[in-house]
Amino acid sequence: MNEPDSRLVRWLLGLAVVVPAWVLIYGHLTEFANAMISLLGLTRETRLGEAVHFFFYDTPKVLLLLTAVVFVMGIIHTFVSPERTRAVLSGRRLGFGNVLAASLGIVTPFCSCSAVPLFIGFLSAGVPLGVTFSFLISAPMVNEVALALLFGMFGWKVAALYLFLGLLVAIIAGMVIGHLKMEPYLEDWVRAIQAGSAAPVDHAHLPWAERFAAGWAHVKEIVGKVWPYVLAGIALGAGIHGYVPEDFMASFMGRDVWWAVPAAVLLGVPMYSNAAGIIPVVEALIGKGAALGTVLAFMMSVIALSAPEMIILRKALKLRLIATFAGVVATGILLVGYVFNAVL
């Protein structure tokens, strides 16, 4: 047996052990959390016990989901490289290109921290500005991690509605920006390289052992970076779950408070987190009486409209284009919040 074949066999044997273990652990998280609070001499009847139970239940749940999803997306990444994405999107017409770009945002493992290099790369390959924005809005907001965690915590109906409305925001926002002809508000150095081209890289013939290795490298890179945010988000969620009075959250983010959705969006913009870090907070807020649409609007603003991301984008965009982008996306997020509150 040659070396590539032996590597593939080792990967398959490892997965044959790890996958059933993952399923077994994921199916017994409640028992684990109960055992942990018992070891600490706590009960769920107390505020502290409920908060600690939330933490020990959600921490392994989120990290297990995150690891599995990132591993799979790392493998997909070997098929869908940034160069290939640019090649698919370049030259697409407004409308169809926006739909295609927003759809690619779901299955491409790019987060908001990659916004500037991707933005420049797309433009240099001839991707229209509005189409590029549809991708950049969709990739962090409607990504695989957000959908997996929403499905795991709230069920397929919430995840499906979030997917549909998130894509709608990305498509329409990109089309609006495209119709506004905002290209003059790119920074001069970005416009100077728009005539460049990027040659696609062919990843079609990689051995599967290398694809599995890429998936594991993706786990070490992404999970290795975000786990502190996950713990911080879950700890905040646990505190809210155990200590924040339900009446307070209902008064601020309740379904019947008309200003709750815009207030939640404004509250989310100065913050910075990813889906894995913010969704445990979402779960805790909903458990305390907050309306689902209001909390999801808060989450979307944290992920897609954070102030740190705007600071990064300032390197490539002039202030008027950044303000237009933020205004269009914020309007879409507001509508998503109100729709969720109306139908659920």
341 and 211, same domain (yes or no) = no
118 and 263, same domain (yes or no) = yes
Lowest mean pLDDT among 4-13, 207-216, 229-238: 229-238
163 and 255, same domain (yes or no) = yes
Position 67 in a domain:
yes
68 and 173, same domain (yes or no) = no
Over range 135-154, report the average pLDDT: 79
Do residues 334 and 262 lie in contact, with contact meaning Cβ atoms separated by under 8 Å?
yes
In this prediction, residue 198 carries a pLDDT of: 45
- Whether 112 shows a pLDDT value over 60: the answer reads no
Do residues 186 and 154 lie in contact, with contact meaning Cβ atoms separated by under 8 Å?
no
Do residues 102 and 134 lie in contact, with contact meaning Cβ atoms separated by under 8 Å?
yes
- Per the model's pLDDT, the better-predicted residue between 201 and 98 turns out to be 98
Tally the domains of the chain: 2
- Per the model's pLDDT, the better-predicted residue between 289 and 38 turns out to be 38
12 and 131, same domain (yes or no) = no
In this prediction, residue 213 carries a pLDDT of: 92
Lowest mean pLDDT among 57-71, 210-224, 266-280: 266-280
The percentage of the chain sitting over the pLDDT mark of 70, rounded to a whole number, equals: 78
Over range 248-260, report the average pLDDT: 71
Those residues whose C-beta lies under 8 Å from the C-beta of residue 166, and which sit 6 or more positions away, are 138, 141, 142, 300, 336
Q: Is 182 helix (H, G, I), strand (E, B) or coil?
A: coil
Q: Is 90 helix (H, G, I), strand (E, B) or coil?
A: coil
Express each pLDDT in 6-51 by its tens digit: 889 999 999 999 999 999 999 999 999 999 999 999 988 888 998 8
38 and 65, same domain (yes or no) = yes
d(CA 235, CA 281): 9
Over range 124-147, report the average pLDDT: 79
Q: Which residues pair with 317 in a beta bridge?
A: 186
- Whether 315 shows a pLDDT value over 80: the answer reads no
Over range 245-256, report the average pLDDT: 66
189 and 303, same domain (yes or no) = yes
The pTM score is 0.65
Domain span at residue 172?
A: 84-197+244-344
pLDDT bin (cut points 50, 70, 90) of residue 189 is confident
Half-sphere exposure of 83 (CA within 13 A, CB side): 10
